[in-house]
Amino acid sequence: MVDGLAIVAGRGALPRLIAEECARSGRPYRVVVFDGVELDWLDGHPVLRAAFERPGRLFAAMRDAGCGAVAFAGGIVRPKLRPLRFDLTMCRLAAALLGAVRGGDDATLRAVAGIFERAGFRVEAPHSLLPGLAAAAGVHSRALPSERDRADAARAAGIVAALGAADVGQAAVVAQGVCLGLESIQGTDALLDFVARTGAGFRPDPGGARGVLFKGPKPEQDRRLDLPAIGPDTLRGAAAAGLAGVAVEAGGVMILDHGATVAAADEAGLFLWAREP
């Protein structure tokens, strides 16, 4: 018998895609929705409502539903925990978990995944549930990156590696060798909006390379938990920021709705390049 899957769902298309794949394949599943997470696609899907302060209750509900595995998908804002609502399980976990939450996203996710694993649940990676999601190496768009674009992508990849080592972000924008913006807790859309509003005056040559968004995983991160992703809105944001294209690490970034993402790149005349690490 196939274990049921609990999908801990946050923002974005990824948790919906996983739920739809489970429904299509007949795998038992539940969508776990924590307090404060608003999702507009839940109709027709089996849902477990959960509170961050009461993991013991959630674990019992997952077992009752036949879920032996869990997948983390989508972005969730770090909650403001209410100690008076802690169940006994949370009281035992609080010290270690609160310490991890004060670190970066990777440290937090590792701590949360460890809690689920110690409770007996197997952690499954979203890209293992949706084959073909990880970006295949090569140029996916009609437009091709120029040599100047490739140099900017290499510079951005080095910056992202340094950011990731500090457990901070997974994306950077570079134009003509100049870093126009870095991803932090606000995410990639906010980075592209910042570059759209502020980047024009910082390109040394107004007629030179327009710039590249590069996105890649953090060094040593647990790729089951927080593999970065792009989608059509990423390409639209890159176009609004005046960039030449988007580069991602091949195999290290998920392309959500590949067809629509490539179409968005082609419509805007941008390149979409999955760059070998």
Residue with tokens 């944001």: 237
CATH code for the domain defined by 4-129: 3.40.50.20
**What is the reported pLDDT for 164?**
87
CA 135, chain centre distance (Å): 13
Residue 101 and residue 203: Cα distance in Å, rounded? Answer: 37
At a CB cut-off of 8 Å and minimum separation 6, what does 55 contact? Answer: 87, 89, 90, 93, 115, 119
Tell me the three state secondary structure of residue 272. strand
DSSP string, 125-167: -HHHHSTT-BPPSEE-SSS---HHHHHHHHHHHHHHHHHHHTT
As a dihedral over the C-alpha atoms of residue 135, residue 122, residue 10, residue 104, rounded to 10 degrees, the angle is -80
pLDDT at 99: 65
* Residue 103 confidence (pLDDT): 61
**Residue pLDDT, tens place only, 135-179:** 999 999 999 999 999 999 999 999 999 998 888 889 999 999 999
Cross-strand pairs, 275: 249
Intervals of the chain under pLDDT 70: 1-2, 78-79, 98-106
Tally the residues of the chain. 277
Per-residue pLDDT, 195: 98
4-129 and 138-275 share one fold:
no
pLDDT of the residue at 155: 98
CA atoms within 13 A on the CB side of 256: 19
Q: Facing residues of 47 across strands? A: 31
Domain boundaries of the chain, sorted by first residue: 4-129, 138-275
What's the rounded Cα separation, in Å, for the pair 73 and 22?
14
pLDDT, residue 148, reads 97
| Cα–Cα dist 243/258, whole Å | 20
The span from the CA of 251 to the CA of 52, in Å, is 32
Tell me which amino acid residue 135 is: A
Q: What is the pTM of this model?
A: 0.83
pLDDT at 203 (0 to 100): 93
Fold annotation for 138-275: Cytidine Deaminase; domain 2 (3.40.140)
- Exposure pattern of 16-40 as b/e (b: 16+ CB <10 Å)? bbbbebbeeeeebbbbbbbeebebe
